Amino acid sequence: MFSVPTRTQYGIRALVHLARAGEAADPAIADLATSAAIAKAESISPKYLEGIMTQLKSKGIVIAERGKGGGYRLARDASAIRMIDIVEALEGEVRPVDCVENSDCCVQGNACMPRKFWIGLKGAIDDYLASKTLKDVIEA
Amino acid sequence: MFSVPTRTQYGIRALVHLARAGEAADPAIADLATSAAIAKAESISPKYLEGIMTQLKSKGIVIAERGKGGGYRLARDASAIRMIDIVEALEGEVRPVDCVENSDCCVQGNACMPRKFWIGLKGAIDDYLASKTLKDVIEA
DNA sequence: CTATATTCCTACTATCTCGATAGGAATACG
DNA sequence: CGTATTCCTATCGAGATAGTAGGAATATAG
Ligand code: FES
Ligand code: FES
């Protein structure tokens, strides 16, 4: 139950890899890593990770440098990247049931009691994800 | 993300239905409902709900009375049924990633930092689900 | 200008899960 | 006996997921 797709798991492991690379003293040197290098280090399918990194780039989590000598780096400091930003970038908003927004998924409509329960669950998940940053994770 | 299967949504709605039926003064009368009646009231596929109710029975959440005049009732008071009991009965334990138990899903092994993050998420979800009972939900 | 290393884009496929359906066997009641 | 109900097993279609394939665009180095 509530299993997280490999897409998200891989994305987070890749970002952890980048964040640890950026921990070094001189931030201008070691914080650039190619998708292929991360894939090898983390034993992830290279082509699959490529697509994940592109998506993280399009959402502003990482910055890509193309061409020879290129690679990826974090778009901002690890302490400024919340885990919920990553999860939403890769899988969209947390939504246990469709009726989080529109209350027409069952006959009860707006008075539906299960709906309030699910919205509460979304709140609990969101709170946890928003309370942790990438930096918290690499320092755990 | 984190979408809950209809199986679980339907199961909870059916139990809410049963719990409300049992709210009446005399508990021996109104708290028995057939799977077909619940399905009709909640606009759920009857045959599908049948299987869900059977599962809830096998997990001890409800009690079934077979044969003519039969139906389902809650196995215990609504205040003694936690939402986590229902979720686990229908979908198994909350497990965001496989490595919640065995830490061999990535090369980091036991020192894996993302793993601790996911275990924390499991804790947040479990805490919420364990803090709510069926009675809380019908009184929301 | 050329060779190379990299990101980026599009399409495809195999496998699995989910939601639902079908048919009927077992059981209980009157 | 007839009927209403739970219970069991099998099946099916749609969609998501995980991964693959091939190559276009872009930047660097020599
Ligand atoms: S509105 Fe979604 S379960 Fe009732
Ligand atoms: S052990 Fe599961 S992600 Fe590392």
Q: What is the CATH number of the domain that holds A57?
A: 1.10.10.10
> Measured between CA atoms, how close is B54 to chain A, in angstroms?
19
A positions 25-84 inside 8 Å of B (CB): 41-43, 83
Q: What is the pLDDT of residue A24?
A: 63
Query: Which residues constitute the domain of residue B27?
Result: 6-92+133-139
Under 8 Å between Cβ of B126 and B119 = no
String of DSSP letters for B44-80: --HHHHHHHHHHHHHTTSEEEE-STT-EEEESS-GGG
- CA gap B120, A96 in Å, rounded: 18
Residue A108 pLDDT greater than 80, yes or no: no
> A128, B121: Cβ pair inside 8 Å?
yes
Number of folded domains in chain A?
1
- Domain assignment present for A127: no
- Domain assignment present for B41: yes
CA of B27 to C1' of D16 (A): 44
- Chain A contacts of B100, Cβ < 8 Å? none
Mean pLDDT of the A109-131 span: 93
- Domain assignment present for A66: yes
Closest ligand to B16 CA? 1
Is the CB of B135 inside 8 Å of chain A's CB atoms? Answer: no
The pLDDT tens digits of the residues spanning B8-23 come to 999 999 999 999 987 7
Mean pLDDT of the B38-61 span: 97
- Domain assignment present for A68: yes
Q: What is the pTM of this model?
A: 0.93
**B 10-39 residues, CB < 7 A, strand D:** 34-36
- Domain assignment present for A121: no
The pLDDT tens digits of the residues spanning B66-92 come to 999 999 999 999 999 999 999 999 999
The pLDDT tens digits of the residues spanning A50-87 come to 999 999 999 999 999 999 999 999 999 999 999 999 99
